A and B are shown apart, each in its own frame.
Chain A
Amino acid sequence: MSLLHWAVLSPFLLAIIVPFLYKLFRQIHTGWFVLILPVLLFTYFSRFISLTKQGEVITERATWIPSLGIHVDFYLDGLGLLFALLITGIGSLVILYSIFYLSKVKEKLNQFYVFLLLFMGAMLGVVLSDNLIVLYSFWEFTSLSSFLLIGYWNERERSRYGAQKSLLITVFGGLSLLGGIILLSIMGNTFSIRELISQSGELMDHPLFTPALLLVLLGAFTKSAQFPFHIWLPDAMEAPTPVSAYLHSATMVKAGIYLVARLSPVFAESGVWFWCVSIAGLITLFWGSFSAVKQTDLKGILAFSTISQLGLIMSLLGLGAAALHYDTLGENIYLAATVAAVFHLINHATFKGSLFMVAGIIDHETGTRDIRKLGGLMQLMPITFTVAVIGAFSMAGLPPFNGFLSKEMFLASMVNVLELDIFNMETWGVLFPVLAWVASVFTFIYSMIVVLKPFTGKLQLHLLEKKPHEAPIGMLISPIILATLVIVFGIFPNLLSSSIIKPAVASIQPNLVDSNFQVHIAFWHGFSPELWMTIGIIVIGIILYKTFPKWKRIYQWLPERFSLNALYDNGLNALERSASSVMKFLMTGSIRTYLLSIFLFFILSLGFALYWKDAFKLDTGNFAPIGLYEMVLAAIIVIGSISILFAKSRLTSIILLGAVGYTVSLFFVLFRAPDLALTQLVIETISVALFLLCFFHLPLLASRKEERMTFRLNNALISIGVGTIVTLIALSAHSNKLFDSISSYYLENAYKEAGGKNVVNVILVDFRGLDTMFEISVLSIAALGIFAMIKLRLTGRKDKS
């Protein structure tokens, strides 16, 4: 356990204490206690910048399951550090913002911050783990905490729906990621990412390579909301706005991007990777920006915009893979795509984070996020407006903000695609810049909608729930910091280039980046194609924005029922319906039917196995002599069992059953097994008493006229069948001795190893103690289940939804 391990563990540890802090200091907003941790972590991680800048990496190991080769290896390089800084930095700002956003009186703050801390720890684990199994565990943890956070207002139906949707989709992807990880470990015989990277050349030719690649990508795409799995992200906007800003824009959805970037050195040489990543990214980019324009909910626009921007980063990572095929080029133009991806990742976190916070402020101060109701807030909320302008213009790709720079680099990379001559790019390559350009036009339009609709136009006070005014200063600090970063990174992009971007690019493309490689980001490249493209975007964008009501109808071309959401809803409904019909068919509620099918299966499967394997064998040589006692006891059992059938009342049959049970325990006495005899005796006593008690307290049952058991051939056949099979198996088991009995081992070692003379008990508590442990757990679950079923049925639950 190193300091790095403690750093990742610390959010989890704090999460344990948070509920107590909440209980003890009710008058202080819990967020203040929580805020300390990400700030500390941010300072801790920023100390590593100087190390990774020189290309050094930090590795720390703690053993977890050494027998399976699973260690908690943390590996801090440029890429991991970039994400760690984003997680802790944005995390600090979001927590500060949430302190003013969430009321300490009304909200369940203890839960909120526990979930948020779980997420933070899990996310740090994802980006720092070198071991894929550890990474996967943290990965699922982020899905889980995201689920909890989306469903934070769990009394709302939409929240629950969104939470379930995100969980189903991301966990589905997580499972496929696990499959990919297992395939990778089979190929490379290791779970370590670094070791996999070092043997990436051999992995390429392995037959499992492509399946592994696709499975891993499926995991990354679901997490990063790539088309067609993006549908969960807009519904995740039901979460409180700080959560949306943090998880669903700056960090968690970028986990998929992280994974693609991290595993690029393993997979990127393959054409499948290039095509999948860049095409999925481009389609998502286009579809996200296209759908964003039609949204009326401010957070809805931002959600689709996030989808689209994630697609942009993804497509750049895909294009960056092309660089591997041109490693002889001195000035590798495709490497620029990777640089742009990393740069845009940072920029997106800053401008999107600030925009989300603006949306939260508007929601908080006016009571609505519907852009049809909002308008004219510019005079009332000047500071918020300024932040919104900076964020939205950066998102639209306007100078002098950082979004302009990364957008230019993005367009340049797309134009460079035209020169590619691998993977059949000559024919389809032209689609890349075209799609990118069209998507950018829509990006421009929705960016304008985000900033212009709420802030300009006419103020319609009667539509708003509250009288709007400027937000409290505490809520403004975080978006102002982010907006400042937008400008600073825009004007001085090279602040980041050698300290953060270059080391991160070096982790994604380790073979291409050497010490001579320099990232230089400049404002002015002359009148290059990308500049003309940007000018075109602005001109066309303004025209389309002005004429939006005229072409709005194209969104109705695709009817609702063909949308992906409808597919998801119908699929889920069909699944639930078919599951419930299977349940109805199998679970009739009649114990007799259950027993019939269980016994029938028992007879058929065991009888068939006996016949097929020719397993029946009778070896009389080993039989003990049958004495008078045994004869008498057996006779009692037979008489008792048969007379149960003819008993007139249930009470009689229960007492008879008890008698049979006691006689069986006498057999144990005869064979000198006092423990068994004792147990059997007590169990018989208790179960008979239980039955009697039931009858005593269930007067209805007792007074009802009891049906006489009638003879049924089926039942008779089945019961005789069960008896025969058991007898045959018992006889064969006695006659077939394939192994030495283990009992001699127990007899010898009970005293030597466990210091006990009662072998039965020694087995129970020592030799097979783990069995006992689980048995008592099962018993407990059964008891609680019975309690719950009976008690909860009595109180009667009503669904309020």
Chain B
Amino acid sequence: MKQNDLILQTVTKVAAFVILLFAVAIFLGGHYSPGGGFVGGLMTSAAIVLLLLAYDIKTVTKILPIDYKLMIGSGLFISSLTVAGGLVFGVPLMTHVYRYIDLPILGHISLHTAVLFDLGVYLVVVGVTMTIIQTIGESE
């Protein structure tokens, strides 16, 4: 049976980007509004899964030629570096540092080392979800 995915595919083309943008937004806003690395990562994976459903694995790997296993590794690496970073400055592990600064256009914002840690979490979550889905999806 030939399936007709036209509607799904057309919607996906727009929706996937909206979801991805939203994911980035809630990831960055995590410290002040609902969100954070974990949800952001899941949201990103959801967007990719949507792509996978609308198209197929081959097409998606062509669009996003990412090795998700490497993504897991780099995420863990970033997080553990952030955790260990405190040692370099002679403070306990995981010490959280933040500053408020004023930038043109963006205005009054804060910079946290926690965001770096969260970036690691984000990468790991995307990597883990997509590794599992891809592996199961690819297997015969």
Contact = CB atoms under 8 A, between A and B. Distances in A.
Interface residues of B, number: 53
B42 to A, nearest CB: 4
A757 B31 contact: yes
Interface stretch (A283-291, A418-426, A674-682): A674-682
A682 B139 contact: no
B83 A773 contact: yes
A685 B47 CA distance: 10
A776 B35 CA distance: 17
Nearest to B121: A776
A322 B92 CA distance: 51
Given A755-B112, A787-B69, A678 B139 contact: no
A654 interface: no
Interface in B122-140: 124-125, 127-129, 131-133, 135-140
Contact of A783 (B37, B114, B131, B137): B131
B4 interface: no
Interface of A is mostly: helix
A776 B79 contact: yes
Contacts of B117: 765, 769, 772-773
B75 A776 contact: yes
B140 to A, nearest CB: 7
B85 interface: no
Nearest to A789: B135
Contacts of B45: 686
Contact of B36 (A760, A773, A786, A791): A760
B118 A765 contact: yes
Looking at chain B's contact residues, the main secondary structure is helix
Contact of A779 (B31, B34, B69, B128): B128
Given A689-B53, A784-B69, A756 B31 contact: yes
Interface in A742-801: 754-758, 760-762, 764-766, 769-770, 772-773, 776-777, 779-780, 782-784, 786-787, 790-791, 794
Interface string B33-63: 1111111001101100110110000000000
Given A697-B139, A769-B94, A783-B132, A755 B110 contact: yes
Given A692-B53, A773-B80, A697 B96 contact: no
Contact of A766 (B34, B76, B96): B96
A758 B76 contact: no
Contacts of A757: 31-33
A693 B120 contact: no
B64 to A, nearest CB: 16
Contacts of A461: none
Contact of B26 (A678, A694, A766): A678
B31 A784 contact: no
Given A769-B83, A770-B94, A755 B31 contact: yes
Contacts of B24: none
A689 B50 contact: yes
B98 interface: yes
B133 A690 contact: yes
Given A683-B42, A769-B94, A784 B72 contact: yes
Contact of B34 (A689, A758, A765): A758
Looking at A692, A769, A782, which has the most chain B CB atoms within 10 Å of its CB?
A769
Contacts of A678: 26, 34-35, 39
B133 to A, nearest CB: 6
A760 B69 CA distance: 28
A764 B132 contact: no
A528 B31 CA distance: 88
A693 B137 contact: yes
B42 A772 contact: no
Given A686-B46, A694-B137, A761-B30, 17 more contacts: A678-B26, A693-B49, A693-B136, A693-B137, A754-B98, A755-B98, A757-B32, A757-B33, A758-B36, A765-B37, A766-B114, A769-B83, A773-B79, A776-B79, A777-B76, A780-B75, A783-B128
Interface of B: 26, 30-39, 42-43, 45-46, 49-50, 52-53, 69, 72-73, 75-76, 79-80, 83, 93-94, 96, 98, 100, 110, 112, 114, 117-118, 120-121, 124-125, 127-129, 131-133, 135-140
14 contacts: A682-B43, A686-B133, A693-B53, A697-B136, A758-B30, A758-B36, A760-B36, A764-B36, A770-B83, A776-B79, A776-B120, A779-B124, A783-B72, A784-B69
